[in-house]
Amino acid sequence: GAGVSQSPSNKVTEKGKDVELRCDPISGHTALYWYRQSLGQGLEFLIYFQGNSAPDKSGLPSDRFSAERTGGSVSTLTIQRTQQEDSAVYLCASSRYRGETEQFFGPGTRLTVL
């Protein structure tokens, strides 16, 4: 596609449920990033992929959060046993290669945990 896409655009879930958020990066982009944006914390880095590997997971807030990337393309961010503090907009970004500075962002997934 022409840009980074994310699905779903909105997700409402109950506390304790698991959710999966999907990111389709720009074709050919080898680097992929997940960020989270919430009112209290601003924009926070979560995890970085280079190809299918995640050399930097330092931003994942707890072991309830995990992510994978397959085929050097699609990435899925999974949150297990969601909590209300997980409510945020989850943004995915990609760039052409490691070290490339301009990142292209998707529209985000707004997660609401009731």
Partner 1 sequence: SQQGEEDPQALSIQEGENATMNCSYKTSINNLQWYRQNSGRGLVHLILIRSNEREKHSGRLRVTLDTSKKSSSLLITASRAADTASYFCATPAGGTSYGKLTFGQGTILTVHP
Q: Which is nearer to partner 1, 71 or 99 (CB)?
A: 99
CB of 34 to partner 1, least distance (A): 11
Taking the least distance from each CB to partner 1, the nearer of 3 and 16 is 3
Q: Residue 13 or residue 105: which is nearer to partner 1 going by CB?
A: 105
Contacts with partner 1 by CB under 8 A lie at: 4, 31, 33, 35, 37, 42-43, 45, 48, 50, 56, 89, 91, 93, 95, 98-108
String of DSSP letters for 3-64:
S-EEE-SEEEE-TT--EEEEEE--TT--EEEEEEEETTTEEEEEEEEETTEEEE-TT--STT
Nearer to partner 1, 17 or 98 (CB): 98
Q: How far is the CB of 81 from partner 1 (least distance, A)?
A: 26
